[in-house]
Chain A
Amino acid sequence: MESVRFNFPAPQIDESVDELRKEVRAFLEEEVRSGGFTPVTDCWCAGIDPEFSRKLGEKGWIGVTWPRQYGGRELSALHRYVITEEMLVAGAPVHAHWIADRQSGPLILATGTEEMKQKILPQIAAGKCFVALGLSEPESGSDLASVRTRAVRVEGGWEVTGTKLWSSGAQQCQYMTVLARTGERNPEKRHDGLTQFFIPLDSPGVTVRGIRDMSGVEHFNESHFEKVFVPDDAVLGAVGEGWKQITNELALERSGPERFLSTFVALEKALQQGAPNMSGHQAAVAGSIIARIRALRAMSLGVAALLGQGHSPEVEAALVKDLGTRFEQDIIERLREFWPVRMKQGYGDELQNLMADSLLRSPSFTLRGGTNEILKGIIARGMGLR
């Protein structure tokens, strides 16, 4: 398709979606009130609490779209959307299960063996099994097809050797989906010969080392695989088809509410503080931000609706992520006019803490899951320019 005309259809919201939203809101309010968690900014990457994930599992709020036989509830993508956006705006510590719920679960459903589905998916849905992404490497960032991690055939399976970098939350995870080269490099077809493996992180030969990021959080990891043996059924999908799977996965994960709501907790706090005595100028800045959130949400829900109708809105999803991630950075820059960001976390003022953490985490927004430059390339290709 080569068009600059986009359609973002209305989500089909029924009563059960509204009911679920109310239920989730009430639960989160109670959790905050009872001290179950303290709201954090960028909670889907910086808020890790396995205990909280287990609570959500008990509630039945993880893997909600999956088949019942694998621990899911066969609810719609919109039900999942509502759960995730309510978690984000509450600043709930959802990082532990986020990737497994959003990405690894659906990947296993699409490509895993029956045994893997039966064993792993109910555990993910219960909030007990967490999965990390093994994509980037020391020499492979945006140019993912250049990965050097290798898997070689051995009797009964494969032996994986290589280093994965920037895997969020791996130290809390039991598994990692690892992209490795299984075929020879072909300069003509760079994306051929890549395969994804589902690897238990307690396998012999795996070492996971935490990396502290500039905001002080240690969620990044460097994971080394030294001749790690995995059986044949650890292959996700077909050998050599890893690239296609990855790009499908990425298309799905690009348009979610976490691409524009990462810093919403700071905005919420600022608006609550500012509301009683809001000046015209403050209102204008707040209104401009709110308008953009509402418009991004309409786009994001539109992409969800398109996915639900069986379309592959790759360009639309890239647009949501490019606009949304720049915007969640922008929120903090604009709020600075009224609430300067000076002090590190621990200063004691909740808004100051949320603003400071948002600013310190903001460089990652336009990098993770594909940089905005890569996204613009995808959009330009959609316009027929590449």
Chain B
Amino acid sequence: MGFDMEETDQLIRDTAHRLFTDQCDAETVNGSECGEAPERLQKAILEAGLTLAWVPEAAGGVGGSLALGFSLIRQAAGFALPVPLADTLVANLLLAESGLEIADQWAALAMDGGELPVLVQGKVSGVVEAASGMPEAEVLVMPVTQGGQIRIAVFTPSVVDVQHHESLAGEARSRITLNAAVPDQLSDPVDGMTADGLGQFCALVRACQIAGALEKMGELTVGYVKERQQFGRPLGKFQAVQHKVADIAGESAISGAAVEQAIRMISSHPAPFDGSMDILLPVATAKVVASEAAGKVPRDAHQAHGAMGFSFEYPLHQYSRRVWSWREEFGSEFYWSERLGMAVASEIDTHGSGKSATRAWDVVSR
């Protein structure tokens, strides 16, 4: 079974890579920001079933592992995919986890790490500042809270109060206001799901996207400094430039390592949305490290690219603007480092002796 699943996962990863390579070039990405909807790309992604990677086979999905979905998200970020694949994947996963119906279409995720809207007597009230995936979406998937329990609510986008905004990278981020709105579908309370756990899961999604985009920035930079000649030789022959590239590689590598470690933990966890300490540690680690790198890598990559990287035509900015917005979403490095520091501090116990004492290292090395 395990082997079959790995095989299926690899097949889908390869399909995604071919699809993105063929249909998501730099012109498509820039064009999409200038109002040319990437319809061919959208259609191909739906047809390939990529949005259903996290939906069980029984519910008409692919039945892929959590690791598969995260690898699709990372790949997509490496192409600056101008389509809300990550958001639809998470929305569909929430529908699947809560036993609601899933359609083969784009879904918006009405969750941004802030307070969840509240459910009272079957009606939902609250504000979600930055829902993602709205323009394409045919359903709006929203975790709501009632008495500390999480349910999933589904709305038709056209009937809710929406104010459209764009992130730094031109990705749709919509303000949704609900005033005792009646959802089209409402799940039972979902076992093992907490608001914090949902926030952690989405923080990892953003960290994973950052890791994918940073890798691409590294590739673009290496390619550019090999080609671009100044003072009679390629920029990449200058030691000062080489060291910048090495720094990019380092920050990209450490982000990838932190993200992969968290994905391994969450994939093997019996309750990936419960927000427990054993998930918090690797997820906070990943979001802190990736968000910090999201400041450092664009600085070095743009410096190495000179004015070319500052132009709209050259693709670098599609990645730098994305990582600059993703690093803030679902908790910046400042937010997660404080959470992580507090979590570790709360477990340190110097008064115990021998086996009962807990050092920082005991927590850090978990």
Chain A residues within CB distance 8 Å of chain B: 2, 4-6, 8, 10, 26, 29, 85, 89, 264, 267-268, 271-272, 274-275, 278, 280, 282-288, 290-299, 302, 315-316, 319, 322-323, 373, 375-377, 379-380, 382-386
Indicate the member of B256, B333, B341 with the most A CB atoms within 10 Å: B341
Q: Do the beta carbons of B359 and A6 come within 8 Å of each other?
A: no
CA–CA, A86 and B264, complex, Å: 24
Q: Check if B365 is an interface residue, CB within 8 A of chain A.
A: yes
CB-based contact B246/A322 at 8 Å: yes
Q: A275-B348, A293-B364 are known contacts. Are A298 and B342 too (CB-CB below 8 A)?
A: no
Chain B residues whose C-beta falls within 8 Å of the C-beta of A285 in the assembled complex? 337, 341
Checking B257, B284, B337, B345 against A8 with a beta-carbon cut-off of 8 angstroms, the contacting residue is B257
Q: Is the CB of A284 within 8 A of B257?
A: no
Q: Which B residues, 68 to 85, have Cβ-Cβ distances below 8 Å to chain A?
A: none
CB contact list, B332-349 vs A, under 8 A? 333-334, 336-346, 348
B341 contacts A278, CB within 8 Å? Answer: yes
A4: contacting residue among B252, B257, B333, B360, CB under 8 A: B252
Q: How many angstroms from the CA of A288 to the CA of B260 in the assembled complex?
A: 18
In contact, A283 and B361 (Cβ under 8 angstroms): no
**A272 vs B337: C-alpha distance in the bound complex, in angstroms?**
17
A-B contact pairs, 29 of them (CB 8 A): A4-B218, A4-B249, A29-B354, A89-B359, A89-B361, A275-B348, A278-B342, A282-B341, A283-B337, A287-B338, A287-B342, A290-B340, A290-B344, A290-B364, A292-B288, A293-B364, A294-B364, A298-B261, A323-B253, A376-B246, A377-B239, A377-B246, A379-B249, A380-B236, A380-B245, A383-B222, A383-B249, A385-B237, A385-B241
Q: Which residue of A286, A295, A319 is within 8 Å of B261 (Cβ)?
A: A295
Tell whether A267 pairs with B365 under 8 Å between CB atoms, given A285-B341, A291-B288: no
Whose C-beta in chain A lies nearest to the C-beta of B363? A290
Q: Tell me which residues across on chain A come within 8 A of B337, comparing CB atoms.
A: 283-288, 291
> Are the CB atoms of A8 and B242 closer together than 8 Å?
no
Give, as a whole number of angstroms, the nearest-CB distance from A130 to chain B. 27
Chain A residues with CB below 8 A from B252, complex form: 4, 6
Chain A residue contacts of B33, Cβ below 8 A: none
- Least CB separation from A318: chain B residue: B246
| Residue numbers in A under 8 Å from B334 (CB-CB) | 284
The reply to whether the CB of B292 lies closer than 8 angstroms to some CB of chain A is yes
A271 touches B253 (CB 8 A): no
Known: A287-B288, A386-B242. A319 touches B338 (CB 8 A): no
| Known A-B contacts A275-B345, A283-B341; A85 and B365 likewise in contact (beta carbons under 8 Å) | yes
* Chain A residues touching B, majority SS: helix
Q: Given the complex of chains A and B, what is the CA–CA distance between A284 and B258 in angstroms?
A: 18
Cβ of B226: which chain A residues have Cβ within 8 Å of it? 384-385
Assuming the contacts A299-B257, A377-B242, asked whether A283 and B359 have C-beta atoms less than 8 A apart, the reply is: no
Rounded to whole angstroms, the CA-CA distance of A302 and B355 in the bound complex is: 29
B300 contacts A by Cβ under 8 Å: no
| Extra pairs beyond A6-B252, A376-B242, A376-B243 (10, CB < 8 Å) | A264-B361, A282-B341, A285-B341, A287-B339, A287-B340, A291-B340, A323-B250, A375-B246, A380-B242, A383-B249
B144 interface hit (Cβ, 8 Å): no
Which residues does chain A contribute within 8 Å of B288, judged by CB atoms? 287-288, 291-292
Contact of B243 among A4, A296, A319, A380 (CB under 8 A): A380
Cα distance A294–B261 in the bound complex, in angstroms: 9
Complex Cα distance A288/B254, Å?
A: 14
> Are A288's CB and B261's CB within 8 A?
no
Chain B residue with minimal CB distance to A282?
B341
In the complex, what distance in Å separates the CA atom of A104 from the CA atom of B215? 37
Q: How far is the CA of A298 from the CA of B282 in the complex (A)?
A: 10
Shortest distance in angstroms between B320's beta carbon and chain A's nearest beta carbon? 16
Min CB gap A373→B, angstroms: 7
Q: With a CB–CB cut-off of 8 A, which chain B residues contact A89?
A: 359, 361, 365
Docked complex Cα distance between A293 and B342 (Å):
16
B246 contacts A283, C-beta separation under 8 Å: no
Which residues of the partner chain B approach A323 to less than 8 Å between Cβ atoms?
A: 250, 253-254
Chain B interface secondary structure, helix, strand, loop or mixed? helix
Residue in A closest to B349 when the chains form the complex, CB atoms:
A275
Within 8 A of A (CB), among B217-250: 218-219, 222, 225-226, 236-237, 239, 241-243, 245-250
Given A8-B256, A298-B257, decide whether A271 and B243 contact each other with a Cβ distance below 8 A. Answer: no
Closest-CB distance, A82 to chain B (whole angstroms): 9
CA A285 – CA B344 in complex, angstroms? 12
Interface string of B91-124 (1 = CB under 8 A from A): 0000000000000000000000000000000000
- Bound complex: CA of A297 vs CA of B260, how far in Å? 12
Most-contacted residue by chain A among B256, B257, B282 (CB, 10 A): B257
* A261 to chain B: closest residue by CB: B361
A322's partner among B236, B250, B336 (CB-CB below 8 A) is B250
* CB contact between A288 and one of B246, B264, B292 (< 8 Å): that residue: B292
Q: Does B285 reach chain A (CB closer than 8 Å)?
A: yes
| Complex CA–CA separation, A383 to B252 (angstroms) | 13
Whether, in the assembled complex, B289 has its beta carbon less than 8 Å from a beta carbon of chain A, the answer is: yes
CB of B144, distance to nearest CB on chain A (Å): 29
Pick the residue among B239, B282, B342 that contacts A294 (CB under 8 A): B282
Query: A8 — which chain B residues lie within 8 A by C-beta?
Result: 253, 256-257, 260
CB distance from A5 to the nearest CB of B (A): 5
Q: Is the CB of B253 within 8 A of A316?
A: yes
Best-surrounded residue of B264, B340, B354 (most CB of chain A within 10 A): B340
* Cβ–Cβ < 8 Å partners of A376 in chain B: 242-243, 246-247
Interchain residue pairs A-B with the least CB separation, the first 9: A283-B341, A287-B341, A287-B337, A287-B340, A4-B218, A380-B242, A291-B288, A286-B341, A295-B258
**B253 with A6: CB separation less than 8 A:** yes
Q: Are A291 and B257 in contact (CB under 8 A)?
A: no
Which has the most chain A C-beta neighbours within 10 Å: B253, B286, B289, B359? B253
Task: Find B246's partner among A272, A298, A380 (CB 8 Å cutoff).
Answer: A380
Q: If the complex has contacts A287-B284, A288-B333, are A298 and B242 also in contact, measured as CB distance less than 8 A?
A: no
- Closest chain A CB from B183 CB (angstroms): 37
Contacts A268-B360, A283-B341 known; A294 to B281 CB distance under 8 Å?
Answer: yes
Contact between B249 and A319 (Cβ–Cβ < 8 Å)? yes
Q: Given that A287-B288, A287-B336, A377-B242 are known contacts, is A296 also in contact with B341, CB under 8 Å in the complex?
A: no
Give Cα distance in the complex from A299 to B256, angstroms: 9
Q: Which of B222, B254, B338 contacts A295 (CB 8 A)?
A: B254
- Residues of B with C-beta under 8 A to A293: 364
